Structure 1
Amino acid sequence: MSGDPAALMIEPLVGWPRKAQAGQSYLVTVDLNGPAAPEDWPYEEEEFDFGVSLDGSRRFVCEALNEPSVVLHRFGGTYGPARFVIKASRAPGPGTIWLTISNRWGVPVRTVELPSEIVADAVVGQGHVVVPALNGRTATLPAEHTVPGQRTGRRPASGVWSPHHITISYAGTDRAWAVWTARQLERHGCQTFLLRWDPPPGVPLARLLSDLLGAPGRVLLLLDEEYLRLGQRTEPEWNEALGAVVRADPDRFAAVDLSARTLPPSTAVLGPVSLRELDPAEALRRLLTTLDLQDARPEPEDESVAPRFPDAPPAVWNVPRRNFRFTGRDTVLEELRALFENGPPAGARVALRGISGVGKSQIAIEYAHRFANEYDVVWWISASFRATARQQFADLAEPLGLADSSALPERVRAVREALRTGRPHRRWLLVLDSADDLEQVYDLLPEAGGHVAVTTLTQGWAASGGVAEVQVERFTRAESISYARRHVERLTEDEADQLADAVEDFPLLLAQTTAWLDANRMSAAEYIGLLRRADADEIGIQTLPDYPIGFQTSWALTLDSLEQDSPEATELLRLFAMFSPGSIPVRQLQRARPGDLPTLLAELAADPAHWLGALRRLSESTAVRMDYVQPSDSVGYVDSVEMHRLYHRFLRRTLTPGERDELSAVACRVLVSADPRSPSEVANWPVYAELLPHLHPSGALESSEAAVRDLVLNCIEYLRLRDEESTGLTLCEQVLARWRIRLAPTHPSMLVLVHQHANMLRRCGRYREAEAVGRAVVEQLAEERPSDDLDLLRAEAGLGGSLMALGLFKEAHQLFDDVWRAYDVLDGPEAPRTQACLNNLGVALGLLGRYQEAADVHAQLLVLRRQSFGSDHQSTLLSGLTYARSLRLLGRHQDATALQGVNSLLHRQTMGDHHPQTLAALHNQALCLRRSGDIPAAADLLRSLVERCRNLQGVRHPMTLMVQADHASFLRSYGDLTESAELTDAVADGYRHLLGDDHPYTVGVLGNRGLLLWLGGDRAAGARLIEQALRGMTNAVGADHPWTLGCALNAAAVRRLSGRPDEAAELRRETLLRARDAVGRDHPLVRACEDASGTGAEEPPGWDFEPQPI
């Protein structure tokens, strides 16, 4: 017949996965329905042959298993479906399979879109189950579905019985148990398939359970409250469904009990055996016995990569408590997991991005708990405030077993290195919560290894490259309805839908409205009406931009109810708004001094039971989360409180200016009472770390109270002592902007602040700015104060530090000498600040090339400090180091080596291997070993120091540059010119960036580069740099400085070997005379000059420039 086959009114009958697990293969069947009765067949031919094709549109790979056609018959339907295997891509997300049906001439007569979402885990309710072996492939067998708008057709036959194939059905929250169970069963010879239980509403429970039997083996149910509660199923429904399905096929079902409570009676038909509160061996025994596998011989287990027993926490764990009422978000969690699993081998970083209030942090918390048994380290960091984030990151050092260091940057770098290298743990997850400013925390990210999850409001993370992004939207309506009905059981499906509509599916707002409805008996209809009718004028608050009025309305209703029922809890809530939302100091509030709190709150804090009750009320009715501590020997207490940032903004907007000022004063008094007033004591550092985030929201930076100013200055001093110069500089500049308005430049608090500002600038490498700040203060105080004024002396000492860094050694020396003499008269030689200034004086003398005077000063100070502090005090060890360095610079290499060997050992024993002062001691020891002839030991120590300084202090830190410069010189002298050149170029670039082109360190390292070029054969370029170094060093430190004389020695050799003997001889003669005057006749520099005038006249240039600590 020649008619158009399309007139036959065919209906495709397709079995395909509506959700496909990433990387999984599936069986897709395509059949056709024709007219129901033979008499309706309109043609003479009794059969029509239709071609069938599938196109996966880059998301699926499609392959036909048999002839891709379906024969439709007038009397019996078809002879069987066309069958395809499709494989989902590794990347989760929406996908489409295009079905095309063609007539016998290949003309398409029907095209159908088959949507399929690729997820990380398989999902029950989609009807597809695993087929262990299908033409050599692993695939799944989906239930048939008609295409949208078509009637349902036949169901496929059940899979072939396979006793060693086990489908594991689990609730999403129990994924850790599912993964562990699957691994153990696979070790014992079984094939497994994970199927997440997520029953769609409205589908009979018995049908969903029957669908599980499509798998070719047994079905293991992991039962707990969450499994039974999903889909809002009632106990009678479970009783009926289990009775009908399980009793009909009891050998196909098995179950285990993961519940912390007794399971309902309906589950008795499954005979579930409990696996809770058991050790791993007993849990495994029970699992195997339940499945009649107790005699199976297991494969060996590699515990370093195997999923851990779910009840055994990771070795290192620091994550907020799990929200056991967490609902939905399975798609986001699956996408997050897939991005981690399929990320680069060097480590995956994923940002959860979305507006405030959509539940990013809750998703991250659930992910950490749900996948905990796949990690050895899970660490949570509150990243909204830089200082807090760095402190919490550094806190990971102790549980990782890293050597302790008082310097926070060193601990941060040590943790980064441990995570990067995977030692001691390779499987780790780091969560940076509320990391909206990438620049503030980016330096915490390890360069490789592990997984990093970030929650953020901004697009900066994804735009930075190397960070994948998951967009977190509001709840889907189905998630909203499920959440609402789970939290308020009296809600009907329609009421839950209306509530979700009123709050526009915002998770945070839904949490607050359901909490209110659960605690109050107002009808849902009345409450929803209030949410929809109210406006900003009615509720009397400022609105939050870009957020629905429902936020303001629901929270205003909550506040109104709270104020009527518990005025003291309301007052406490408003006071919370004056602290940082991420870590409200409830313990400090409860311990506040008499008179610090208003009467109502003071009475509340004095009664522990009422205090705890008020906190509990806030937790139940507001966007506040509590962390409880329950000591074994006392009653529990609330250790910390966290408030959602959006709710924090809302509360602050409800306050009048007068209320805000009153509450700010209260908050500042509480912070002052918590101030230990001694930031130099290491034991107090955790307290200052907790106080820092509250300075800004409390109003402490604007306070005119002297005690509050002292608190701010103590926090800045804490940052200085922790070597947190970047954070310290930011805080200094914030405070300066406020205090300059109300304080005179010479006010005592202002002078301390400016001194710290200059100090932080200097530590950040901003030396010119530090000099300008310090010089302005010195000049102003010098006009108003006597020369021995303590404020002036402190300012001069600070200016001296900036000048020394800038290479202005003479002026720095003069300042240090004046200040030391003044302190010696005022305080005596034993006073700490006198000794500190004497140390600076000795360093300045060494930088001036006056090595003998420097050695005398350091020897004197070493004796003083041994008498004052003992031999193993940090200050004494520093003096031992500086004295040994002076001896080395004098050419007394054997004496220096002996002294530095003991000093380095004491440093390591007292301060640890990672302290910056220990690294400085080891650096000097390496140079002593080189000069005393122990070349192999010097080589090993220098190479290890370069790596340690890079990792612990960064590539452009002055110490790293100094160590690299000396290692480069060593390599040049002992054979590796290529690596030496690379290091020298890096150091030159670093010094140029840090100190400028004319600084003696930049000039000296360029001279070293000239030596490399000369030795490498490029004599013209080498000669230019060597001559340039001589001119530059002469300008920087003068013609008589040992550094200049070393450059002159090199230039003389270049002139001699370049055919300019007369110029060379004159320069050698002048250099020898100057060297004898500068360092004495027995110094190695003098001997080198003498050799160059005699037997060594033909030797190539080779005098190294060695930068010194500043």
Structure 2
Amino acid sequence: MSGDPAALMIEPLVGWPRKAQAGQSYLVTVDLNGPAAPEDWPYEEEEFDFGVSLDGSRRFVCEALNEPSVVLHRFGGTYGPARFVIKASRAPGPGTIWLTISNRWGVPVRTVELPSEIVADAVVGQGHVVVPALNGRTATLPAEHTVPGQRTGRRPASGVWSPHHITISYAGTDRAWAVWTARQLERHGCQTFLLRWDPPPGVPLARLLSDLLGAPGRVLLLLDEEYLRLGQRTEPEWNEALGAVVRADPDRFAAVDLSARTLPPSTAVLGPVSLRELDPAEALRRLLTTLDLQDARPEPEDESVAPRFPDAPPAVWNVPRRNFRFTGRDTVLEELRALFENGPPAGARVALRGISGVGKSQIAIEYAHRFANEYDVVWWISASFRATARQQFADLAEPLGLADSSALPERVRAVREALRTGRPHRRWLLVLDSADDLEQVYDLLPEAGGHVAVTTLTQGWAASGGVAEVQVERFTRAESISYARRHVERLTEDEADQLADAVEDFPLLLAQTTAWLDANRMSAAEYIGLLRRADADEIGIQTLPDYPIGFQTSWALTLDSLEQDSPEATELLRLFAMFSPGSIPVRQLQRARPGDLPTLLAELAADPAHWLGALRRLSESTAVRMDYVQPSDSVGYVDSVEMHRLYHRFLRRTLTPGERDELSAVACRVLVSADPRSPSEVANWPVYAELLPHLHPSGALESSEAAVRDLVLNCIEYLRLRDEESTGLTLCEQVLARWRIRLAPTHPSMLVLVHQHANMLRRCGRYREAEAVGRAVVEQLAEERPSDDLDLLRAEAGLGGSLMALGLFKEAHQLFDDVWRAYDVLDGPEAPRTQACLNNLGVALGLLGRYQEAADVHAQLLVLRRQSFGSDHQSTLLSGLTYARSLRLLGRHQDATAIQGVNSLLHRQTMGDHHPQTLAALHNQALCLRRSGDIPAAADLLRSLVERCRNLQGVRHPMTLMVQADHASFLRSYGDLTESAELTDAVADGYRHLLGDDHPYTVGVLGNRGLLLWLGGDRAAGARLIEQALRGMTNAVGADHPWTLGCALNAAAVRRLSGRPDEAAELRRETLLRARDAVGRDHPLVRACEAASGTGAEEPPGWDFEPQPI
């Protein structure tokens, strides 16, 4: 039949929100009413398929959950509604959703306007529950409305529902249990549906429970305190509602008990079975038994992807304790989860952004706990201070089972690589808390895999690309009221509403005010009146921009109460303001020498019970959180305290200049007392990592006390030893800006600081700046001090390192030789600094091409270090490496390979696979294998080293560039010219960026690129680069250097093959004579020159430039 379906009298039956909360998602259902009687059906065809679409304009985002159509049947209506999720915009105001019904050919047959007002506050309506959308978000299901008439929703009749369709109703905090329960039931043949229990205030509880029966099958309630307390329901109300609803339909309901306490008597009608404190097998048995599923056969389970049993923690876990008073924020948590689930397959990154005090960190903590059973690794990092963030990230190495390394950058890179590759754990969550400066912590982010959550004040993360953003706003009014009434039970709903209004729904301020009200007897009305009436001048403090006066008022009232009730706690709180808020070292305060603390605090610290009581009082009444440590063999203690940054800022603003100076002196004395005074001892590194964040807020950088200056210098030395040059450079520059005002340039502390500054500049690749700093100090000291002055010798040695990096090898060699001779006289050959300078001298000789002299120096030093430290000491291993390298450069390949093989094994056993010195040893071993003829082994080792150096040290690190350069040369000789060219170009760019165009390394790699072009067929371009490399290397290191002679050998071959035999012959003769003088008659370079001079074969150019470590 060909009748027009539009002739049917259809009525849309729509469930949609008349009011929608800003930013909230809702479920919209669209069904159709047809003719009431089958005989009124006008066509022979018994069903028609109608298309359904929703358009929310700019106010709503609409997404179909299933096929957007409804099949209308002659007998019995439709097969079910079309379902959509709509998300309201964050801006309140009137909105419209346009519904369009289309026939089978896509022609619209009905358009309906669905008005919906977007409001800032939570919607109070009938029967709101939450259902999951296909994209991982959840939506609120409102009571059904109809257009144009009214029609009530239909419930399955008794006896029709299926016992194998189970709706799981849970509080948001128990999501882990809900997911695990659903998975287990699905394995046993059931269909499950998750409904988050989110009852709005004012809706009768019986109505809400009845609405749960709208889904087919049974309803399983996951009960605990949170489930029963949501919406501030009373015990009598629960008793009445459960009695009315459950007794009317007892077979439809079941329940499990997840509470740590005894459930109230009203829940007895449900017969809940407890699942707490059980192993997974027993919990599953009880769950199946209560649902009469104990005989069902389970499907096999893949534990690597299945949700973990909720009481079983992740394999690796480091997250602050859960806030069991956490309230609301389900919308944000669901949005965060959806962004993670729907993020890129390579890994999702989400930033929680909002002003200070809106609860970003609390949301992140709740997310980590709520979704913990879906991860194998959950790791929290305090990211406000770079050094702390990197240390905490590196601490993940041990629980991941990574090889230990004393160098922090290598541990950081090893962890990042383990997370990127998903080995040993693929499901991981990393939280960077208070990461306001993107540049400070961006290098911690793995390139792929897992989930990263960031809390931040700034838009930098979202602007960087690849990071989704969730805007965290203040509480909704409903969340504020719920929070207030749960924390202060005496508040009425109206009082809670007035309090929320007074503090403008700020979560931190609401926490502060409810804590005060809970601890004091003042009436809510009087307290709220104070908050509203107070003037900043009256309460005697400065206001904080962008925040309501309620912040200042409430905290001023809190401080006033503390001052009256506990003066010692107040003084302790003010001292806290002189430390970094992220981790205030209260354990160090308690251990401080009595004379370092004011009398009141010294007495408090001497009494453990009173000390703990004061800390507890601060935790209960102010915005601080305590970190307990509970050793197995002693009484627990508080190790550190975290204070909210906004409250920390407020406290510092309440201090007068005099008070701040006094407290700064106390804080500095405490830090000095905690200084182990030996940053070279690895066992002391955790202490220095703890002290570093407090240097700035304590005033240590401005202190004129010698002991405090020593503390600062020890912290800088710690950063140098941990290879944290970026953080070390920043600290050096901060300290220099302050000390230059107070100290003479030649003051001992200033000289140490400037030396460290030059060292950090050099390590950061800023060689010219390092040279300028070092040369200025050397020139000044040389005018005032004798040649053997220790300060001068140290400055000359530092300058030599900068010069060597810049390619000024002769001047560097002269400095190292002078300094070594002076140390040898002053300290003797066994002294560590004598040996260190002798090592530098050997390296400089090698860079000058004086390979035999370099080998002699390294052999001498190897003997000295074996005698002084033993065979497996790091310094001894370094000397073994440099000696083997010198032998290889001399052409003694078999000797070098034998020595380096043992040396590499000792490096791996002693220092681990990730240490830079181990990588250098393996690199030299690969080159030894190549020169000895073991090409397959050399190929495998070089390729693996390139990947490891990139991942562990970065693509532009000098070691990475060196290894890539050698791998590119290897590929040119034995492998792929295309890959070799790509690598060579990357290395050339890296050296040009790091060292400049005229540095011998840049020039040498340019020559390697010329060889590639020549072999690839572009002989003209190749010849130009090869000749250019010869000129550049001659200018850089002189005509007699082996590097220049190698370039000359290539140029001679090019000239001969380009039809210039006379020029080629002259260059070959000159090169041979120079080579014999430079490296001896038996060196491979000399043999290559002799072979080129004695043959008429058309041999192509092929000498490789090989950069050396600097």
Asked if TM exceeds 0.5, the reply is: yes
Counterpart CA distance in 2 for 1:461 and 1:757 is 31
TM superposition shift of 1:337 = 0.3
The alignment partner of 2:1075 has SS state of helix
> 2:412 maps to what in 1?
412
* Residues 18/819 of structure 1: CA separation in 2 closer, same or farther (3 Å cut): farther
Distance 1:791 1:572 in 2: 42
**Against the structure 1 CA distance between its residues 732 and 94, is the aligned structure 2 distance closer, same or farther, given a 3 Å change threshold?**
farther
Separation in structure 2 between the aligned mates of residue 633 and residue 790 of structure 1, nearest angstrom: 49
State whether residues 121 and 476 of structure 2, in contact with CA within 8 Å, keep that contact through their aligned partners in structure 1: no
The more displaced of 8-17 and 979-988 is 8-17
Q: 1:345 to 1:137 in 2, by over 3 A?
A: closer
In structure 2, relative to structure 1, the CA distance for the partners of 1:1076 and 1:20 (3 Å cut) is farther
- 1:718–1:474 CA distance, 2 compared to 1 (3 A): same
CA-CA distance at 1:934 after TM superposition: 0.8
The 10-residue stretch of structure 1 (16-25 or 796-805) with the greater mean CA deviation from structure 2: 16-25
Q: Partners of 2:303 and 2:503 in 1: how far apart? A: 47
Alpha-carbon spacing, 1:52–1:683, altered in 2? closer, same or farther (3 Å): closer
Distance 1:480 1:87 in 2: 22
- Offset at residue 124 of structure 1 (A): 13
Greater CA deviation, 426-435 or 65-74? 65-74
Shift of 1:321: 0.3
Q: Secondary structure at the match of 1:145?
A: coil
Task: Report Cα offsets for 1:598-622 as digits up to 9, x if no partner.
Answer: 0000000000000000000000000
Aligned-pair CA distance for 1:553: 0.3
Partner deviation per Cα, 1:859-901 (whole Å, 9 max, x = no partner)? 1000100110111110001001111111111111111111111
Task: Give a deviation string over 1:513-567, Cα, whole Å, max 9, x none.
Answer: 0000000010000000000000110010111111110000000000000000000
Deviations, residues 313-370 of structure 1 (Å, cap 9, x unaligned) = 0000000000000000000000000000000000000000000000000000000000
How far did 1:278 drift? 0.4
| CA shift for structure 1 position 632 | 2.8
Deviations 1:739-766 (A, max 9, x none): 0000000000000000000000000000
**CA 1:46–1:368 in structure 2 vs 1: closer, same or farther (change >3 Å)?**
closer
- CA shift digits 1:889-939 (9 cap, x unpaired): 111111111111111111111111111011111111111111111111111
Contact 1:255–1:273 (CA under 8 A) maintained in structure 2: yes
Q: 1:900 to 1:90 in 2, by over 3 A?
A: farther
The 10-residue stretch of structure 1 (81-90 or 584-593) with the greater mean CA deviation from structure 2: 81-90
**Equivalent residues of 2:125, 2:142 under 8 A apart:** no
Change (3 A) 1:231 1:45: same
Match of 1:302 in 2: 302
Distance 1:151-1:493 versus aligned 2 partners, 3 A rule: farther
Change (3 A) 1:71 1:828: closer
> What do residues 973-1014 of structure 1 show as CA deviations (whole Å, max 9, x unaligned)?
113111111111111110000000000000000001101111
CA contact (8 A) 2:1000 2:1033 kept: yes
Q: How many residues align?
A: 1110
CA 1:1086–1:412 in 2, change beyond 3 Å: closer, same or farther?
Answer: same
Q: Provide closer, same or farther for how the CA distance between residues 564 and 139 of structure 1 changes in structure 2, counting only shifts above 3 A.
A: closer
1:353-401 Cα offsets, whole Å, 9 max, x none, are 0000000000000000000000000000000000000000000000000
Identity of aligned residues (%): 100
Q: Given the superposition, is the C-alpha separation of residues 516 and 1057 from structure 1 closer, same or farther in structure 2, using an over 3 Å criterion?
A: same
Give per-residue Cα distances to partners, 1:2-31, cap 9 Å, x unaligned: 999999999986334789999999996668
The one-character-per-residue Cα deviations of 1:419-471 (angstroms, maximum 9, x if unpaired) are: 00000000000000000000000000000000000000000000000000000
Mark the CA change 1:1096 to 1:928 in structure 2 (over 3 Å): closer, same or farther.
Answer: farther
Kindly indicate whether the alpha-carbon contact (under 8 Å) linking 2:156 and 2:216 is maintained by their aligned counterparts in 1.
no
- For residues 718 and 47 of structure 2, the distance between their equivalents in structure 1, rounded to whole angstroms, comes to 88
Matched-pair contact (CA < 8 Å) for 2:218–2:252: yes
Once the two structures are superposed, residues 254-294 of structure 1 have per-residue CA deviations (whole angstroms, 9 ceiling, x without a partner) of 00000001111111111111000000000000000000000
Q: Offset of 1:1098 from its aligned partner?
A: 2.2
- Whether the 8 Å CA contact 1:91–1:338 is kept in 2: the answer is no
Displacement of 1:247? 1.0
Q: Is the 8 A contact 1:516 1:558 kept in 2?
A: yes
User: Against the structure 1 CA distance between its residues 626 and 1021, is the aligned structure 2 distance closer, same or farther, given a 3 Å change threshold?
Assistant: same
Per-residue CA deviation, residues 1046-1078 of structure 1 (Å, 9 max, x unaligned), is 000000010111111110010000000000000
Name 2:1060's counterpart in structure 1: 1060
Q: Which range moved further: 437-446 or 18-27? A: 18-27
Deviations 1:212-270 (A, max 9, x none): 11111000000000000001000111111111111111111000000001111111111
Shift, 1:127, TM fit = 4.5
1:9–1:609 CA distance, 2 compared to 1 (3 A): farther
**Cα distance, 1:294–1:78 mapped onto 2, change above 3 Å:** closer
Q: Distance in 1 between matches of 2:1021 and 2:41?
A: 95
Mapped partners of 2:1070, 2:107: distance in 1? 99
2: CA distance, partners of 1:853 / 1:82? 85
Q: CA deviation at 1:58?
A: 10
- More deviation in 36-45 or 1093-1102? 36-45
Offset of 1:74 from its aligned partner? 21
Structure 1: give runs of 5+ residues left out of the alignment.
none
- For residues 550-609 of structure 1, the C-alpha deviation after alignment (integer angstroms, 9 at most, x for no partner) is 000000000000000000000000000000000000000000012000000000000000
Deviations 1:1021-1060 (A, max 9, x none): 0000000000000000000000000000000010111111
Aligned-pair CA distance for 1:631: 2.3
Say if 1:158 and 1:215, in contact at 8 Å, map to a contact too: no
Between the aligned partners of 2:406 and 2:934, the Cα distance in structure 1 is 33
In 1, distance between residues paired with 2:405 and 2:323? 35
CA deviations over 1:289-323 (Å, ceiling 9, x no partner): 00000000000000000000000000000000000
Q: CA deviation at 1:116?
A: 8.7
Q: Secondary structure at the match of 2:193?
A: strand
Unaligned runs of 5+ residues in structure 2 are none
Q: Is the 8 A contact 2:154 2:214 kept in 1?
A: no
Distance 1:2 1:462 in 2: 55
Task: Quote how far apart the aligned CAs of 1:145 are.
Answer: 2.6
Cα deviation 1:74-122 (Å, max 9, x = unaligned): 9999999999999999999999742369999999999765479999999
Cα distance change, pair 82–715 in 1 and its aligned pair in 2 (3 A): closer
Distance 1:800 1:134 in 2: 64
What is the match of residue 322 of structure 1? 322
Residues 11 and 34 of structure 2 are in contact (CA less than 8 Å); yes or no, is this contact kept in structure 1? yes
Provide closer, same or farther for how the CA distance between residues 879 and 14 of structure 1 changes in structure 2, counting only shifts above 3 A.
same
Give 1:47 shift: 21
User: Residues of 1 paired with 2:1008 and 2:47: CA distance?
Assistant: 91
Decide whether aligned partners of structure 1 residues 914 and 574 sit closer, same or farther in structure 2, where only a CA change above 3 A counts. Answer: same
Residues 120 and 338 in structure 1, CA contact (< 8 A), matched pair in contact too: no
Contact 1:130 1:193 in 2 (8 A): no
Q: Which residue of 2 aligns with 1:902?
A: 902
- Relative distance call for 1:69 and 1:409 in structure 2 (3 A) is closer
Hey, what's the Cα distance between the residues in 2 that align with 1:154 and 1:740? 81
Contact 1:604 1:611 in 2 (8 A): yes
Q: How does 1:49-68 map to 2 (within 5 A)?
A: 55=55
Rounded Cα–Cα distance in structure 2 between residues aligned with 1:174 and 1:644? 27
What is the SS of the residue equivalent to 1:99?
strand
SS at match of 1:452: strand
Question: 5 Å matches for 1:983-1062?
Answer: 983-1062=983-1062
When the two structures are superposed, what TM-score results if normalisation uses the length of structure 2?
Answer: 0.92
- Mapped partners of 1:649, 1:145: distance in 2: 51
Q: Report if the CA contact (8 A) 1:123-1:195 is conserved.
A: no
Contact 1:132 1:191 in 2 (8 A): no
Worse overlay, 66-75 or 1076-1085: 66-75
Cα distance in 2, alignment partners of residues 93 and 598 from structure 1: 57
8 Å Cα contact 1:125/1:197 also seen in 2: no
Answer yes or no: is the 8 Å Cα contact 1:51–1:106 preserved in 2. yes
